[in-house]
Amino acid sequence: MQKDHHFKERKGGFRKHANSRYSQNKSQRGQAKAQKERDVIITVKRLGINGEGIGYYKKKIIFIPGALPEEVVVAKIVKEYPHYLQGELVRIKEKSPDRVVFPDQVSPEIGGLELAHMNYDAQLRFKRDNVLAALDKYHPRGYKNYKVKRTIPAPEQWHYRAKAQYQIERSGKDVLLGMYAPNSHRLIDLPEMPTQSVDTQRTERAIKDLIVKLDVPIADVRRQRQGIKTIVVRQSEATKEMQVTLITVGHRLNHMLELADRIMELPDVVSVYQNETDWQNPQVWGNKTEKLKGQNQIMEEIMGKQFALSPRAFFQLNPVQTTTLYSEALKLLSLTPDMTLIDAYSGVGTLGILASDQVKQVIGIESIPEAVLDAQHNCELNHVKNASYLQGSVEKLLPQLQKDEVPIDALIVDPPRTGLAKSLIKTLLRVKPESFVYISCNPSTLAQDLVLLGEAYDVRVIENVDMLPQTPRCECIAKLVLRKDLR
């Protein structure tokens, strides 16, 4: 450990970072004691699930964003909650060998760079440790025997994000384009985001310039004025085609079609969509999506197969590393030609289509109608004749398949961060697919679901694939095997 590292260049940034990230929960904010800020010396013991340093002060846990394990830091206690303290990093007295210089062109409080002050090997270790910690917290049956593999690194640690989703807002005479500070409505202008692809970033800025030039209305939440709220730019890794979606409050905005024409002139842009939302909707995307210009979808390629993507369809943010994720997951499924594979939470049909030549049939289940249409179109594009896609919730459709006596031999689930619904787990414990792989982007919900699934399944192995370097997030792939006594 190196001594007496003064943290001048980042001090201010981390203070804001610490404040915003941990003081936002309203009920907790109410309980926080108003107190005089004071500096304390803390030895950091470990990282929390969001990448924040954790230490103890007078036997109480203290969270210090930006601090690393083994570091001795001076922290300011900014809030005192009944069960923990919120700290801000002031100065590093003893520096961790894992510390690296944070990218200087961007504010540390921006989401998505929570681990950017830590070297990449340490980030990979942290991601595996996060899985172990979740298992240790919920202790699913036999978890001590799980083989939790080393995190598979991403080939690119910077500029890997193929989709940018930035908010646009007026601030006095300026127009800001970027992301909100975590848990707040304070927009941070983001001319540079080091994990974002250069092309998507450049296109975002060019669209902002066009909006200003053509005087297209920008949404104003305070005055409830209609306009453009969010600009989404997604690029295909294989074809470089770019799809732009302007998320608006209000339908026909002044100069909107002229704007779409001008956006189409930008390099690689092949389609412009408008998605309409309203002030009541807490989600970024609204329900109405309409094409303004260009082609319906952009084309992506994974493992030699073509995938058409419409604006609302889910696709991994890191297309280069997606091949690793999918090939590891399919390897663990151990498919045979007589099997029926259920691709639950199928998105645009990627996993099922990639597995289709190894099984008798594939049935995909997905809730977003546009994604289901994309999946059906993707089957045609790839001449896949043994796959079909159902639109609806997995919770409702899986029991229906069982009722209809569809053989469910192999199952892959790839749910959102919330994990599997309890009702679905009950169905799975009845159906007992022989081959079962669970892809999870949240070790905590994975561990909780494994507790319940442990009634019928053992876990053979958990693979970790790093899709999002510089963030605390990781994709886990768990291979579940039916318990011997139930086979």
Residues catalogued as catalytic: 441
CB of 379 within 8 A of CB of 345? no
Which residue lies nearer to ligand SAM by CB, 5 or 396?
Answer: 396
Using CA atoms, how far apart are residues 379 and 385, in angstroms rounded to an integer? 7
Among 371, 390, 401, 450, binds ligand SAM (CB under 6 A): 371
347 touches ligand SAM (CB under 6 A): yes
Residues 282 to 321: which contact ligand SAM by CB under 6 A? 314-316
Residues 103 to 132: which contact ligand SAM by CB under 6 A? none
Using CA atoms, how far apart are residues 193 and 164, in angstroms rounded to an integer? 10
- The closest of 470, 156, 440 to 319, measured between CA atoms, is 156
427 touches ligand SAM (CB under 6 A): no
Helix 256-264 vs helix 198-214: crossing angle, to nearest 10 = 140
Among 271, 346, 464, 470, binds ligand SAM (CB under 6 A): 346
Among 143, 345, 436, 457, binds ligand SAM (CB under 6 A): 345
Strands (E), 27-161: 38-43, 46-47, 53-57, 60-64, 72-80, 84-95, 147-152
Which residue lies nearer to ligand SAM by CB, 362 or 371?
Answer: 371
350 touches ligand SAM (CB under 6 A): yes
Q: How far is the CB of 260 from ligand SAM (least distance, A)?
A: 26
Please choose, out of 48-56, 236-244, 362-370, 473-481, the segment that lies near ligand SAM by the rule CB under 6 A: 362-370
Number of CB atoms found within 10 A of residue 381's CB: 15
Among 367, 386, 388, 402, binds ligand SAM (CB under 6 A): 367
Which residue lies nearer to ligand SAM by CB, 276 or 366?
Answer: 366
Q: Where are the alpha helices (DSSP H) in 215-313?
A: 256-264
391 touches ligand SAM (CB under 6 A): no
Asked whether residue 414 is marked as a ligand-binding residue, the answer is yes
DSSP label of 310: -
Q: How far is the CB of 412 from ligand SAM (least distance, A)?
A: 8
Q: What share of the chain is helix, strand, coil (3-state, %, to 5)?
A: 30, 35, 40
Using CA atoms, how far apart are residues 453 and 6, in angstroms rounded to an integer? 49
Using CA atoms, how far apart are residues 75 and 65, in angstroms rounded to an integer? 10
DSSP label of 51: S
Which residue lies nearer to ligand SAM by CB, 78 or 474?
Answer: 474
Among 52, 204, 366, 409, binds ligand SAM (CB under 6 A): 366
DSSP label of 221: T
Using CA atoms, how far apart are residues 107 and 235, in angstroms rounded to an integer? 25
- The closest of 274, 438, 266, 246 to 342, measured between CA atoms, is 438
Asked whether residue 370 is marked as a ligand-binding residue, the answer is no
Q: Which two tokens stand for residue 387?
A: 């796959």
Among 238, 257, 368, 481, binds ligand SAM (CB under 6 A): 368
Strands (E), 392-470: 410-413, 435-440, 457-465
Which residue lies nearer to ligand SAM by CB, 78 or 355?
Answer: 355
Which residue lies nearer to ligand SAM by CB, 98 or 343?
Answer: 343
351 touches ligand SAM (CB under 6 A): yes
Query: Which amino acids are annotated as binding site, given as ranges?
Result: 316, 345, 366, 414
Binding residues for ligand SAM, rule: CB under 6 A, are 314-316, 345-347, 350-351, 365-368, 371, 393-395, 414, 416
Query: Which amino acids are annotated as binding site for S-adenosyl-L-methionine, given as ranges?
Result: 316, 345, 366, 414
